[in-house]
Structure 1
Amino acid sequence: MGSKNKLKRFEENKTFQNVIQPTREEIQEGFELKGKWNEHFGNDNPIVLELGCGKGEYTVGLAKRNPNKNFIGIDIKGARFWRGAKTAMEENLQNVAFLRTQIELTDRLFSKNEVSEIWITFPDPQIKYKRTKHRMTNLSFLEKYRKILMPNGTIHLKTDSEFMHGYTLGLLHGLGYEIIYANHDVYKNEGSPKEVLEIQTFYENQYLEKGKPITYIQFRLN
């Protein structure tokens, strides 16, 4: 993407009512929407996050299928989620928002028990050992998620990375967390939720064209 297109999208994001872009200072001093996200949406519906939302395909796709839930796509790259934000505005989806920030700050952006579900879709698996701290299902990240999730809140991990799938399963088993469902090839094995099969991201389509299996885990941090 050219620099001109990025700048154009950054400027357009500023005009979207569904895009929130707090500064790091605002987050550190006390983010104004923390604990008040239902006020932002104007209802008491459950709040669902997509972390590392990319172009926002899952955020928008889930919002269309679940009008009685509120969805927030989170990513630091605003030029990417511009597409999802624009689509949501064009289709008048009132249950969608996009938050430009770093994933590791989520526990400063949401209060205890404020989130009902978290989706992690096609994250960078960070395979090298020295990159372990950046894996979005490592122990540090799971603790951040546990702080904001409701007691029976669920996490969904959908990835093309067999490494990420195996790493996460092993960690969950070791910690004694509840694995609700796991599948190492969702399009060949039956039983996966419809929203796992029916919503496909830009990158997922590329992986499927290459014949890569898509994996999925649903779990709780109880």
Structure 2
Amino acid sequence: MRLRNKPWAKEKISAYPQYVVPNPEQYKGKWHELFGNHHPIHIEIGTGKGQFITGMAKENPEINYIGIELYESVIVSALDKLIENDLPNLRLLNVNAKDLASFFENGEVERIYLNFSDPWPKKRHEKRRLTHHSFLELYEQILISEGEIHFKTDNQGLFEYSLMSFSQYGLLLTYVSLDLHHSDFSGNMMTEYEEKFAAKGNRIYRCEVKYRAK
């Protein structure tokens, strides 16, 4: 995907520190202080333009959500949604997911969402896939005991790879759908990509996995 550069994005992000947390490492182990409660924390890695996580935060005020997005030119769209809705249980981080352990204490997160992640199809890029075992190790570190990953994609190759990666890591598969939009699953919150791909007739794959008790 070619990103359209938005040279003004950095300045806009800096103007809203109440929504895009500027120094997230200072809240490691202390996110409850920022949110003002001890509600569970769910994070979305690769939050994109923010439709999914904004919708989830609206529907679940008893959960604190954190959207993580690397690209400034993308996260500003999520920021616009947060400015419009002013959700007290949602914050955004403009950071790299590989640094998660710098921002979250061990066992601080309850659930991780991976929605339509970059498939990085070339073998030499395997380690960049967000379901590679190196990322699974990182997620296990910040997740509670028996924490969950909810994964969704339209890419069959990435889905198959991810199921194998989850299995080899020893994760427990608790839900799987090979055609989400034609299943009995209820409460699906769609992302912008999902709406676009589904409109084209693409099959959407989804699974939920859980780490074993620590």
Common fold: TM-score over 0.5:
yes
Gaps of 5+ in 2: none
Task: Confirm whether residue 38 of structure 1 aligns to residue 28 of structure 2.
Answer: no
Other-structure match for 1:21: 22
Q: Render the CA deviation track for 1:79-108: whole Å, top value 9, x for unaligned.
A: 212122222222221111000111111111
SS state at 2:163 partner: helix
Find the partner of 1:209 among 171, 174, 199: 199
Q: Aligned equivalents of 1:103 and 1:175: distance in 2?
A: 19
Q: What is the root-mean-square deviation in Å for CA atoms of aligned residues?
A: 1.5
Q: Render the CA deviation track for 1:65-86: whole Å, top value 9, x for unaligned.
A: 1001111100111221212222
Other-structure match for 1:200: 190
Find the partner of 2:114 among 96, 117, 120: 120
Q: Percent identity?
A: 32
Q: Where in structure 2 are the equivalents of 1:1-222 lying within 5 Å? A: 3=5, 6-16=6-16, 17-22=18-23, 31-190=25-184, 192-194=185-187, 196=188, 199-222=189-212
Q: Render the CA deviation track for 1:121-144: whole Å, top value 9, x for unaligned.
A: 000111111111001001000000
Report the TM-score when normalising by structure 1.
0.89
Residues 85 and 97, structure 1, Cα contact 8 Å, conserved in 2: no
Residues 50 and 81, structure 2, Cα contact 8 Å, conserved in 1: no
Q: Which moved more, 1:172-181 or 1:157-166?
A: 172-181
* Structure 1 letter corresponding to 2:75: F
**Ranges of 4+ aligned residues in structure 1 off by more than 6 Å:** none
* Cα deviation, residue 2, structure 1: 5.7
* Cα deviation, residue 172, structure 1: 2.0
